[in-house]
Amino acid sequence: EPEVTQTPSHQVTQMGQEVILRCVPISNHLYFYWYRQILGQKVEFLVSFYNNEISEKSEIFDDQFSVERPDGSNFTLKIRSTKLEDSAMYFCAITRQGENSPLHFGNGTRLTVT
């Protein structure tokens, strides 16, 4: 059973629409990360989240993006007004507390903005 499940696996949306990508850990994970991979490029860090607040974010993570844990278990990434260049694979990663805890990646959500 995977440590983390992402939904949906594929999301198609029109430019300007809001999307919410979801990440559901199996249990007991304290650190959450969102990464994205634009087609043909490397995986890029977006944001890390610990103890119900953002611990670090990249320059990509602008005001269009937000993260939250709405019910204490799910971890969501919201893009308020999608742009064509937001089309990418979005990966959630989680880890437990502890310096040596590995990252567990979800299978990703493919976001296509048309």
Partner 1 sequence: AQRVTQPEKLLSVFKGAPVELKCNYSYSGSPELFWYVQYSRQRLQLLLRHISRESIKGFTADLNKGETSFHLKKPFAQEEDSAMYYCALSYNNNDMRFGAGTRLTVKP
Q: Applying CB under 8 A, which residues contact partner 1?
A: 33, 35, 37, 39-40, 42-43, 45, 48, 56, 58, 88-89, 91, 93, 99-100, 102-105, 107-108, 110
Q: What angle do CA 62, 15, 49 make, to 5 degrees?
A: 30
Residues for the chain: how many in total?
Answer: 114
Closest distance to partner 1 from the beta carbon of 58 (Å): 7
Closest distance to partner 1 from the beta carbon of 5 (Å): 14
Considering the complex, state which of residue 17 and residue 107 has its C-beta at the smaller distance from partner 1.
Answer: 107
Considering the complex, state which of residue 73 and residue 97 has its C-beta at the smaller distance from partner 1.
Answer: 97
- Cβ(40)–Cβ(55) below 8 Å: no
Closest distance to partner 1 from the beta carbon of 26 (Å): 14
Looking at the DSSP bridge assignments, the partners of residue 64 are none
Considering the complex, state which of residue 71 and residue 98 has its C-beta at the smaller distance from partner 1.
Answer: 98
Q: Cα separation of 73 and 26, whole Å?
A: 9
Residues in Cβ contact with 98 at an 8 Å cutoff, skipping those fewer than 6 apart: none
Considering the complex, state which of residue 80 and residue 114 has its C-beta at the smaller distance from partner 1.
Answer: 114
Q: Cα separation of 100 and 86, whole Å?
A: 32
Closest distance to partner 1 from the beta carbon of 102 (Å): 4
